[in-house]
């Protein structure tokens, strides 16, 4: 006798070109155990979550507190591993998307998610395009030959931002996951060379790094500590992991071990980026009492510091890494959040869970790609209206608590096959993560309502 969820389990997704499932002979449950490959959905979700804002937050933490919050940055990596593993386990064990899981928690989840994803996309689109444009606008006029061309040297910032959005939309328009994976892998490689390289040239103090692994909260640094632990790499794209698993062809419990390795290794890589930026902040800024801006422009400030200390060419290399970090977020969000919207809106329109319109590349997916790209250009032109920012802050403050709470419920519910439900350790980990994000959410909500 089958449960309701098993009876309505959608057919497993397969790759159109050389899927891992097909090559390993696992589509019918036969063949050797699936093998993990270095480039997978975990790398996409981790790279998407580590944007310019996250790098700046960690950089500022290092510049203010030295290595004191290194442990919090590492704790943040573990927290993301717990959350993303939950989203992946749900999809592999049940065959349902995370949105279908939220529906089983209650109708209220759809009433929250619908307004959230629309307002979030409107504001984030402008934010992501601006972040990608900043390093280009700073770098290109300095480059020999290009900078000598007057119309290029004087190109308005708005043009760089619009081009970033349009190019990102064009690259993900067809919804080909394999192409996304390859592009993100290239950008991660660029990030690794530049961000880790910047940390290496500062010649970090290994003794102080070890000391930073001891948990302690600096005076007046409680909320900042929680933000580093919970905020770095934490966006709506964490919930997109299950969709990317499906597109990869990892669609049954047989892939559970592979998924866990993929998720853990990807966040270890993202953790290296975070630790590298904290080292730069501690060695280059904290030791010299140099202050930088807290917005994305903080990375431009850092490039100026690097130019003074190590030469112009090194600052150019760092700006390329800044761009790679920002543009990987554009690609990941334009693809991953668009398919989440397609799944949501397809349900609203009464489409079956496996209907093409609810998948990557469908008409609802493409609508949201345009929503992320075109309307936010108005915010770039007019500046971000205070009311939209407040709404964004209010809804956004609840998303990570929403994800943690709903995962805690789903991982213990009757909808989850008994073999894959949480054990005591898993429940304790998710409960601690939930508490962290509730505290952070209340803080962010108060900031948003107070205009902070």
For every residue of 380-446, DSSP letters joined together read HHH---HHHHHHHHHHHHHHHHHHHHHHHHHTTSTTS-GGGS--HHHHHHHHHHHHHHHHHHHHHHH
Q: What are phi and psi of 451, to 5 degrees?
A: 75, 20
184 in Cβ contact with 47 (< 8 Å): yes
Question: Over the stretch 119-168, which tens digit does the pLDDT of each residue have?
Answer: 899 888 988 898 899 899 889 988 887 767 778 778 888 999 999 999 99
Torsion of CA 179, 180, 184, 187, to 10 degrees: 60
Residue by residue, DSSP assigns 294-353 as SSTHHHHHHHHHHHHHH-HHHHHHHHHHHHHHHHHHHHHHHHHHHHHHHHHHHHHTT--T
Place of tokens 């001891």: 214
For 311, the token pair is: 């030469």
374: left (phi over 0), alpha (psi -120 to 50) or beta: alpha
Scan for tokens 């699936």, then name that residue: 34
Distance from C-alpha of 314 to C-alpha of 309, rounded to nearest angstrom: 9
Q: What is the CB neighbour count within 10 angstroms for residue 354?
A: 15
Alpha-carbon gap, residue 326 to 358, rounded angstroms: 27
Cα 153 off chain centre by: 32
Q: What pTM was computed for the model?
A: 0.86
pLDDT in tens, the chain (452 residues): 444 444 444 544 433 333 344 334 444 444 556 776 667 899 899 888 887 777 877 888 888 888 998 998 888 888 889 999 999 999 999 999 999 999 999 999 999 999 999 989 988 898 889 889 989 988 998 888 776 777 877 888 899 999 999 999 999 999 899 999 999 999 999 998 998 998 898 888 888 888 888 888 888 777 778 777 776 656 788 899 999 999 999 989 999 999 999 999 888 888 888 888 889 888 888 877 777 776 667 888 888 888 888 999 999 999 999 899 999 999 999 999 999 999 999 999 999 998 999 999 999 999 999 999 999 998 888 766 566 656 666 666 778 889 989 999 999 999 999 999 999 998 998 898 888 888 877 877 777 677 54
Q: What is the per-residue pLDDT for 22?
A: 39
Q: If 0-12 CB within 10 Å is exposed, 13-18 middle and 19+ buried, where does residue 450 land? A: exposed
Burial of residue 82 (number of CB atoms within 10 Å: 0-12, 13-18, 19+): middle
Residue whose structure tokens are 């580093």? 228
CA angle 90–270–211, rounded 5-degree value: 115
Pick from 431, 376, 440: which is nearest to 404 by CA?
A: 431
- Distance, CA of 247 to CA of 232 (rounded, Å): 26
C-alpha span between 259 and 242 (Å, rounded)? 10
Cα-Cα end-to-end distance for the chain: 55
Closest to 70 (Cα-Cα) out of 78, 79, 62 = 62
Residue 451's pLDDT is 57
pLDDT of residue 17: 34
Q: What is the DSSP string of 5-52?
A: HHHTPPPPP--SSS-HHHHTTTTTT-SSPP---SSSHHHHHHHHH--H
DSSP-derived letter for residue 253 is: G
Q: Where are the alpha helices (DSSP H) in 98-195?
A: 98-105, 108-139, 150-153, 157-172, 177-191
Q: Which two tokens stand for residue 285?
A: 């800024």
Dump pLDDT digits (tens) for 77-97.
888 899 999 999 999 999 999
User: Under CATH, which architecture does the 35-449 domain have?
Assistant: Up-down Bundle (1.20)
Q: What was the pLDDT predicted at 91?
A: 96
Token pair 């601690």 is found at: 432
pLDDT at 18: 36
Over its C-alpha atoms, the chain yields an Rg (Å, rounded) of: 22
- The Cα 9–Cα 20 span in angstroms is 21
Distance between alpha carbon 49 and the CA centroid of its chain, in Å? Answer: 2
């Amino acid at each position: 006798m089958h449960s309701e969820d098993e009876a309505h389990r959608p057919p497993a997704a397969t790759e159109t070109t050389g899927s891992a499932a097909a090559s390993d002979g696992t589509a019918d449950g036969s063949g050797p155990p699936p093998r993990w490959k270095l480039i997978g959905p975990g790398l996409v979700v981790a790279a998407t979550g580590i944007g310019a804002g996250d790098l700046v937050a960690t950089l500022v933490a290092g510049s203010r507190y030295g290595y004191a919050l290194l442990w919090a940055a590492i704790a943040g990596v573990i927290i993301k591993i717990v959350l993303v593993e939950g989203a992946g386990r749900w999809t592999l064990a049940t065959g349902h998307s995370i949105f279908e899981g939220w529906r089983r928690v209650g109708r209220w989840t759809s009433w929250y998610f619908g307004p959230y994803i629309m307002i979030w996309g409107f504001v984030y689109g402008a934010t992501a395009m601006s972040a990608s444009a900043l390093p280009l606008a700073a770098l290109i006029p300095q480059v020999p030959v290009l900078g000598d061309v007057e119309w290029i040297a004087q190109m308005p910032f708005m043009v760089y931002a619009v081009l970033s959005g349009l190019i990102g939309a064009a690259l993900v328009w067809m919804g080909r996951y394999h192409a996304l994976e390859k592009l993100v892998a290239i950008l991660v490689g660029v990030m690794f060379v530049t961000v880790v390289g910047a940390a290496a040239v500062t010649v970090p103090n290994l003794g102080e790094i070890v000391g930073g692994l001891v948990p302690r909260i600096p005076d007046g640094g409680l909320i900042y500590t929680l933000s580093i632990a919970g905020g770095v790499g934490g966006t709506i794209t964490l919930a997109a992991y299950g969709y990317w698993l499906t597109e990869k062809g990892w669609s049954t419990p047989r892939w559970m071990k592979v998924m866990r390795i993929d998720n853990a290794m990807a966040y270890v890589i993202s953790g290296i980026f975070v630790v590298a930026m904290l080292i730069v902040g501690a060695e280059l800024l904290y030791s010299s009492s140099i202050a930088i801006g807290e917005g994305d422009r903080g990375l431009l400030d850092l490039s100026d510091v690097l130019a003074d200390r190590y030469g112009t060419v090194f600052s150019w290399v760092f700006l390329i890494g800044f761009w790679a970090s920002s543009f990987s977020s554009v690609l990941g969000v334009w693809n991953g959040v668009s398919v989440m919207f397609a799944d949501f809106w397809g349900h609203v329109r009464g489409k079956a869970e496996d209907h093409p319109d609810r998948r990557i590349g469908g008409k609802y997916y493409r609508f949201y790609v345009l929503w992320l790209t075109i309307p936010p250009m108005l915010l770039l032109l007019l500046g971000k209206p205070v009311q939209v920012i407040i709404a964004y802050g209010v809804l956004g403050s609840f998303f990570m608590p929403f994800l943690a709470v709903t995962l805690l419920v789903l991982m213990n519910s009757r909808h989850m096959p008994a073999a894959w439900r949480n054990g005591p350790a898993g429940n304790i980990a998710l409960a601690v993560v939930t508490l962290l994000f509730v505290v952070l959410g209340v803080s962010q909500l108060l900031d948003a309502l107070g205009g902070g």
